[in-house]
Structure formats: C-alpha cells, structure tokens
C-alpha cells in the first residue's frame, strides 16, 4: 500500500485515492481489511505524553544555581554541626522552592486536551452497511459519512460534497468556513486551500459529505501538530540564562576567594578546623541567602499585577522574559481583529440606490433576529457570518426584514450553492413576482444586463485590493403571474438588474493601532503571521501601521522554497506572513531566535501550539483552544493585543527591580567578604560570625529587599530598546555602586571594630 509514501491526496482524483486504499466506494472496507489495517497503522489516536508529577515540578525549583549554592552551604554547615546556620539556610531553600512551586504548578495538558476533544463517534460504511463506531476505530481507506454538526474524525479525501462547508479554524486559525468540493486541487497549495480534503478536529458547518479516510492518528494534520508538541523543548529564558550565568560567577569567584584564604591560613600554620571555619564563613558571606526568595517574590508580584490587567502569566520566569521581548509575531483573526464581519462600504451606480441595496441584502438572506421583542441594542442575530453582517447593516439603516416580508410576502428561497455562487429570495411585490439576489460579484455581473460594467469592475478591483469581502446585489421581476417551481425561477435569472456592491471586513479590535505604536516606541517590531490570504493580511497590516507592501509579504508556499540562510537574510524586510501552516510558524520563530532576538508569538488554535511552545514567550487568547492556553506562557483573558505592551512594560519593571535587589544584597555580601578578609589579613579576630552573616543576609538585607519588589517603573521604561539575551544582569553602573558602597562601608566598620577592640 502506498499510504506512507503518498501524501498529496488533494492532487489525485477521488477514484485514484480509493484505488490506492483498495476501497469499494459502495461497500467500503471488509472486516478483514479493517483488522489488517489496525495492525499496520494502529488506532486513530494521538501520541501520548507523560506529564510531570507535582514532585517533579517541586524538584525543578531546586535546579537554579543560586539555590544549589545555598544547598552546598547548608550541607557544609550541617557537617560542621553548625545547626543554627544550617536551619536558616535550609529555611531559605524551602521557602523559595515552595513559593516557586505554588506559583508555577500548571500541568502541561496540551496533548491531553487534544485527545479529550477528539472522543467522538462517526458513521462509516463497512461490508456494504452503514454503522456507527468510535473515532479511534477508523482506519485509512474507511468510507466516512459526514453531516452538519459532525466533528471530523480523520483526514480524508472528499468523494462527494453536498453544499458542504467545514470550520477549520482549529488548524488554519481562520473562522470563516471553507467550502468543500470533490474536484482535484493543484499540488502546491496551503492547507486552507485544499478544498477537496477534510481534516481531523474540524467541524462540518453546513451540508453533507462522503469521504475516504486518508490519514489517522499521528498521520493526520492534527497528529503532526501533536508530534511537534511532544518533540519541541522549551528554550531557556533570558532571565534564566543571565541569572544562571550570574550565579555561576558568584559561585566560582567566591569559591576561589574562600579556597585562597583557606590555603593562606594553612601556610601560615593556623589550625585546620579554625581556618576551615573561616573559609566557610567567607563562602557563606558570599551568598546573599535572601536573594532567591526576593527574586521569586518580584516575579510573583509581577504575575499578580498582570492578572489585574487581564493577562494570566503561567510561569514565573516568563514574567521577566516579557520585558526582553524584541519581536511580536501576532496572528490576525481574533487578536488584531474581532473575528466577525461588518459592512465597510456600500456602492451603487445610482447614489440613491444605497437603501435599495441594503433592502435586497436583508431579504436575500438567511439570518434572523432571535429575540425581536427586545430593544434593538439587545437583539441577538443568528445565521452565517456574512448574512448576519448584511442583516445588521440593513437594521442599522432602519430597514426591518420582518416588516419588508409583511409588505412583500415571501414565496420561495433559493439557497446558496458553490456551483451557482448566489442565493435568492422570491417575493410578491406590486411589480409582480420579484427575485432579490445576493452573491459573488463575478457571478452576478455575468447574469446582469449592465452598460457600465467597467465602472463596477474597477470599483470591485479597488475593494478587493483593500482585502475586503465583496458581495453583489441585484433583482429581477420574473415573467410569472403565479409563482412556479424554484427550478423554473433559476432558469429566468438572467439579464437581472445590477443594484450595488457591499464590502465587508473583519473590524480591528479597539486599541490595536495604539498598542502597535507603543510597542514600536519601545523598540519592538511587530509582524503578522496568519493563515488568511495575503491580500487580506496586507490590508490589515497597512491599517495598523505595519508595512503591507508586496515586497514585505510572503506566503507559506513561498517560504517553503527558501533555505534557512535565505530566510535569515530576508527577515528584516518581511512583515506579513500569509497562508502559513504550523511548520512555517516554527521556522519563523527559529529564524528570529537565530538572530538572537526574543520573540513572542500569539495564537489561539491547535495549529498555533508548536510555535507557542517554541517561542521565547507564547501568548494565547483566553477564548482560544485549551491546547493553545496550556502551551502558552501568557494568556490574554480579554483577547486584546493591547494587553501585550502592558505585559512587556511589567516585564521591564521586573528586570529593573531584580537588578535593584541584587545590587542592594550584593553590596552587603561584598562588604562582609572584605571585612572578614581584612581581619584575617591583619591578624584580627573575626568581626562577625557565620550566624551573624546569615542574619544580615537573610533578615536585615532580605526584608528591605522585599520592599524593593513593589517599586514602580521608571518613566522611560517603555522608551528603551529591548535587551538581548546576552546583556549582563548587572551593568557597569551597578557594579560600581556595589564596589564603592562596599569599600566605604568596610572602612567605617573596620575603624569602628578596631576602636571597640581596644
């Protein structure tokens, strides 16, 4: 069987696909074939992943180098039977670990949510009979029967489609349903344009279909995403990178200092136990025991503040990483736009025909008001997105569909079909039996008797180039005294009167343009990564202030042809990525990361999950799939892009506060080391004991350090350029402060100690 090798099912006729799978199109598979394929391909389920236990999450808190240094100090003090110091050190370790654990514990259930969402039953044809089976029992070659409302159980090639539309947002991110056909599609097309295919996890929105299953389990498009999720390892955050580097520096530096003092003491002939205790005192002094707790508190407070701004941060480290973000890769639908249709422009050859155009739009329409007795502002409109937008536009103009139908009684409706490309509503009017028609502009223009066709075509071109969805409206008085059958009506729908065009768009979310501008002011670049068409994505880009010119726009299939080197060289010019698939989103994230940039990726669908996991910051919409939310680091509870700059601002404040705390605490540690070292050098008694050092580090430094966690941001916090991953945690000015304050404090303390010693 060619199943594994053959992937371009959409480029084959359905007869060829059935032949490859040895499927009888009338009788389906036999029991013997099903049994054989279960052995060959396994069950139609997604890959399993073992999730971390609570204990593993807790152990993860102990991996920080700062905590490891504390653990080392705790072990040494236990060995020396210095129980007071040991209790204080181990208390600091426990407090930090529990703080981190309770803030971070979120089971990563992306794959579990995928599996839960797919527990459905389906109708298949086997042995010449239709039967209902669990979706996990479906095998490649099965004939599956689909109807409106069904969740599609496997990938499949359509054999027959009866006015079928499928909602594929789970994979493409686009909420408009895709019309389905059984015709062959060219080989090199994006997933969203494979109109003769259905995909696991999608939903049949309208019509019915008969398909042959071509992919099950991990061989489906959804399965590929599940495999990607399992394989992708989250990258180290800038905070983790810099803090780990800083902790190692402290460990190595003060470890060497302690060893040199120990060696100096031995060479000077001092007792081993005494000099070892001194070296341990130096090591203990070098570690600001309150620092891990203070840093954890800063991150936790940042998480709490972001929650008030409708941003849920799922792990502590991500709070700081947001402040380092240099690139935002945002989806279009539901993130930048509202995910609904509304009228943007109306055009008619006669300016007086605007109201007439809206009247036809209301009548040739399947949408309806669910609660007409309520006040206008509370009306609930049901129907297809396009029909709803047209009806709402008519109602806002004061046109009542119910009132029009009372005046012009409804005789018949002709539903929209992909083959006809229009829908019509037949009414009794004073002029006679009249058809009001709505459909694709190309179709209605071909049906119309129109002298000014070029004018309309020019306007149509202008509207489509803006990325708008355009519908044409027309009418015709039919040559019938009494109403005939609808198939006779269809024969008469020629030489119709063209009335006008209505352009629809998915409106921008409130505050998006301002948020993009705020991000740009902070040195953050925003790019659009969407499954929608290039023209639509480019139009939205221009509207929000992003370059949407053709030279700045690329489609997924063009991206596939580029090598990594070519893509890297084009990154600075590419602003809009259209018709992209999950694998393309991953490449885009990886390309920016290769340039050393910190990239945040937004998304709401299952298709976004791999890129969300790979990105330095994954940002999921609160209304998105559970898979996206469990994979993301930040969840936008209000679904608004404008939350992202606020989160970045909070992240920058956190970075500043961490630096203030480290500077404050290291100043104390540096002071203690110099004080003890000077005492040893001049042959003086130890001015402070190890217990006193711990008290200073953990209590006297720790409590004021906690106060610094509540510091408000500087005025210029969102006017600075983003910091790269390799920027030092402590810049030179802060190191200078530590040195100068430490030395001056030591001179005062040493002088006071000598005075009291006399």
* pLDDT tens string 420-455: 889 999 999 998 889 999 999 999 999 998 888 899
Residue with the bigger pLDDT between 7 and 178: it is 178
Angle formed at CA 7 by CA 4 and CA 11, multiple of 5 degrees: 145
pLDDT bucket at 49, cuts 50 / 70 / 90: low
Domain with CATH 3.40.1110.10 in the chain: 342-505
Neighbours of 29 (CB within 10 A): 25
pLDDT, tens digit (0-9, with 9 covering 90-100), for 80-122: 676 766 776 777 677 667 755 665 554 344 434 444 544 578 9
Per the document, the length of the chain is 758
Listing DSSP states for 412-479 in one string gives EEE---TTT-EEEEEEEETTEEEEEEEE-HHHHHHHB--TTHHHHHHHHHHHHHTT-EEEEEEEEE-S
- Spatial distance between the Cα atoms of 250 and 662, rounded to a whole number of angstroms: 12
Cα–Cα distance list, 540 to 193, 507, 508, 544 (Å): 21, 9, 8, 6
Q: Are 3 and 105 in contact (CB under 8 A)?
A: no
Alpha helices in 682-718 (DSSP H): 690-695, 702-708
- List the catalytic residues: 331
Residue 748, pLDDT above cutoff 90? yes
pLDDT, tens digit (0-9, with 9 covering 90-100), for 295-329: 777 877 888 888 888 888 877 777 778 888 999 99
Per-residue model confidence (pLDDT) at position 29: 94
Q: Are 28 and 125 in contact (CB under 8 A)?
A: yes
> Which of 78-92, 209-223, 443-457, 500-514 is least confident?
78-92
Q: In what order do the strands lie in the sheet with 617-621?
A: 311-313, 634-636, 617-621, 599-603, 327-330, 525-529, 576-578, 553-555
Highest mean pLDDT among 60-69, 483-492, 724-733: 724-733
Cα–Cα distance list, 193 to 16, 206, 212 (Å): 20, 18, 19
> Which of 144-158, 227-241, 287-301, 604-618 is least confident?
227-241
Q: What is the mean pLDDT of the chain?
A: 84
Residues 6+ apart with CB under 8 A from 30: 126, 127
Radius of gyration of the chain, Cα coordinates, nearest whole angstrom: 34
Instruction: Output helix, strand, coil percentages for the chain, rounded to the nearest 5.
Output: 50, 20, 30
Of 299, 322, 308, which Cα lies nearest the Cα of 632? 322
Mean pLDDT of 607-623: 87
pLDDT, tens digit (0-9, with 9 covering 90-100), for 630-674: 788 888 887 788 999 999 999 899 888 888 888 888 888 888 888
For the four alpha carbons of 562, 566, 569 and 573, in that order, the dihedral sign comes to negative
Per-residue model confidence (pLDDT) at position 2: 47
Residue 569, pLDDT above cutoff 60? yes
Beta bridge partners of 470: 503
Task: Report the phi/psi class of residue 30: left, alpha or beta, with left for phi > 0 and alpha for psi in -120 to 50.
Answer: beta
Alpha helices in 219-350 (DSSP H): 221-231, 238-267, 272-286, 291-308, 316-321
Residue 262, pLDDT above cutoff 80? no
Per-residue model confidence (pLDDT) at position 57: 64
- Spatial distance between the Cα atoms of 687 and 756, rounded to a whole number of angstroms: 11
Q: Are 303 and 321 in contact (CB under 8 A)?
A: no
CATH superfamily of 342-505: Calcium-transporting ATPase, cytoplasmic domain N (3.40.1110.10)
Mean pLDDT of 258-284: 71
Per-residue model confidence (pLDDT) at position 223: 87
Residue with the bigger pLDDT between 140 and 54: it is 140
Looking at residue 697, the DSSP 8-state letter turns out to be I
- Spatial distance between the Cα atoms of 537 and 575, rounded to a whole number of angstroms: 10
3-state secondary structure of 207: strand
Per-residue model confidence (pLDDT) at position 102: 60
Residue with the bigger pLDDT between 398 and 708: it is 398
One CATH from 3.30.450.20, 2.70.150.10, 3.30.470.20, 3.40.1280.30 for 9-48+121-220: 2.70.150.10
Longest dimension (CA), the chain: 124
Residue 240, pLDDT above cutoff 90? no
Domain with CATH 2.70.150.10 in the chain: 9-48+121-220
Q: Are 82 and 277 in contact (CB under 8 A)?
A: no
**Could you give phi then psi for residue 164, rounded to 5 degrees?**
-90, 135
Mean pLDDT of 615-634: 84
Per-residue model confidence (pLDDT) at position 691: 67
Q: Residue 671: enclosing H or E segment and its boundaries? A: helix 643-681
> Which of 203-212, 254-263, 568-577 is least confident?
254-263
């Amino acid at each position: 069987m060619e199943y594994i090798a053959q992937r371009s099912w959409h480029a084959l006729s359905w007869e060829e696909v059935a032949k490859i799978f040895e499927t009888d199109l009338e009788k389906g598979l036999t029991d013997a074939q099903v049994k054989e394929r279960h052995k060959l391909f396994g069950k139609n389920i997604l890959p399993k992943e073992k999730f971390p236990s609570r204990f593993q999450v807790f152990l993860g808190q102990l991996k920080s180098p700062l905590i490891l240094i504390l653990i080392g100090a705790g072990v040494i003090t236990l060995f020396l039977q210095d129980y007071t110091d040991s209790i204080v050190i181990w208390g600091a370790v426990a407090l930090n670990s529990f703080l981190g654990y309770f803030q971070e514990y979120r089971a990563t259930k992306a794959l579990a949510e995928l599996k839960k969402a797919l527990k459905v039953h389906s109708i298949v044809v086997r042995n010449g009979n239709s039967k209902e089976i669990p979706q996990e029992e479906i095998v490649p070659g099965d004939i599956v029967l689909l109807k409106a409302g069904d969740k599609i159980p496997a990938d499949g090639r359509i054999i027959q489609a009866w006015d079928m539309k499928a909602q594929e947002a789970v994979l493409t991110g686009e909420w408009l349903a895709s019309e389905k056909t059984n015709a062959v599609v060219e080989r090199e097309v994006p997933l969203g344009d494979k109109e003769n295919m259905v995909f696991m996890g999608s939903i049949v929105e309208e019509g019915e279909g008969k398909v042959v299953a071509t992919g099950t389990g991990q061989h489906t498009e959804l399965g590929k995403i599940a495999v990607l999720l399992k394989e992708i390892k989250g990258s180290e955050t800038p905070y983790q990178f810099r803090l780990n580097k800083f902790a190692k520096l402290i460990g190595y530096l003060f470890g060497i200092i302690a060893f040199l003092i120990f060696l100096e003491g031995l060479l000077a002939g001092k007792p081993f136990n005494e000099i070892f205790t001194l070296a341990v005192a130096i090591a203990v002094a070098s570690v600001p025991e309150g620092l891990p707790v203070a840093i954890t508190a800063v991150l936790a407070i940042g998480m709490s503040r972001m929650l008030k701004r409708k941003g849920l941060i799922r792990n502590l480290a991500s709070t700081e990483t947001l402040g380092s973000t240099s690139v935002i890769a945002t989806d279009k639908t539901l993130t930048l736009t509202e995910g609904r249709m509304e009228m943007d422009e109306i055009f008619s050859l006669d300016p007086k025909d605007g109201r007439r155009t809206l009247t036809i739009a209301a009548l040739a329409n399947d949408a309806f008001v669910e609660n007409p007795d309520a006040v206008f502002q509370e009306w609930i409109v049901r129907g297809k997105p396009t029909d709803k937008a047209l009806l709402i536009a008519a109602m806002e103009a004061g046109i009542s569909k119910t009132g029009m139908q009372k005046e012009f009684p409804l005789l018949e409706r002709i539903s929209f079909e992909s083959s006809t490309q229009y829908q019509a509503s037949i009414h009794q009017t004073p002029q006679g039996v009249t058809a009001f028609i709505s459909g694709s502009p190309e179709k209605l223009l071909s049906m119309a008797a129109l002298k000014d066709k070029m004018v309309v075509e020019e306007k149509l071109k202008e509207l489509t180039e803006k990325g708008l969805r355009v519908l044409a409206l027309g009418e015709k008085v039919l040559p019938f005294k009494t109403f005939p059958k609808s198939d006779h009506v269809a024969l008469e729908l020629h030489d119709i009167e063209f009335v006008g065009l209505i352009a629809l768009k998915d409106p921008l979310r409130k505050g998006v343009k301002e948020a993009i501008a705020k991000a740009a002011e902070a040195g953050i670049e925003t790019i659009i990564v969407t499954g929608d068409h290039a023209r639509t994505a480019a139009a939205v880009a221009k509207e929000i202030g992003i370059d949407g010119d053709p030279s700045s726009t690329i489609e997924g299939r063009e991206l596939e042809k580029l090598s990594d080197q070519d893509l890297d060289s084009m990154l600075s010019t590419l602003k809009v990525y259209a018709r992209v698939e999950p694998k393309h989103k991953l490449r885009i994230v990886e390309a920016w990361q290769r340039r050393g940039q910190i990239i945040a990726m937004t998304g709401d669908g299952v298709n976004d999950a791999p890129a969300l996991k790979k990105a330095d910051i994954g940002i999921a919409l609160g209304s998105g799939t559970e898979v996206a939310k469990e994979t993301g680091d930040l969840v936008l509870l209000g679904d608004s892009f404008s939350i992202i700059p606020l989160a970045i601002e909070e992240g920058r404040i956190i970075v500043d506060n961490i630096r203030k705390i480290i500077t404050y605490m290291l100043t104390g540690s540096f002071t203690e080391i110099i004080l003890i070292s000077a005492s040893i050098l001049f042959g003086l008694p130890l001015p402070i004991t190890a217990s006193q050092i711990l008290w200073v580090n953990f209590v006297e430094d720790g409590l004021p350090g906690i106060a610094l966690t509540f510091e408000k941001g500087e005025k210029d916090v969102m006017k600075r350029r983003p910091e790269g991953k390799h920027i030092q945690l402590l810049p030179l000015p802060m190191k200078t402060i530590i040195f100068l304050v430490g030395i001056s404090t030591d001179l005062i303390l040493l002088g006071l100690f000598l005075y009291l010693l006399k």
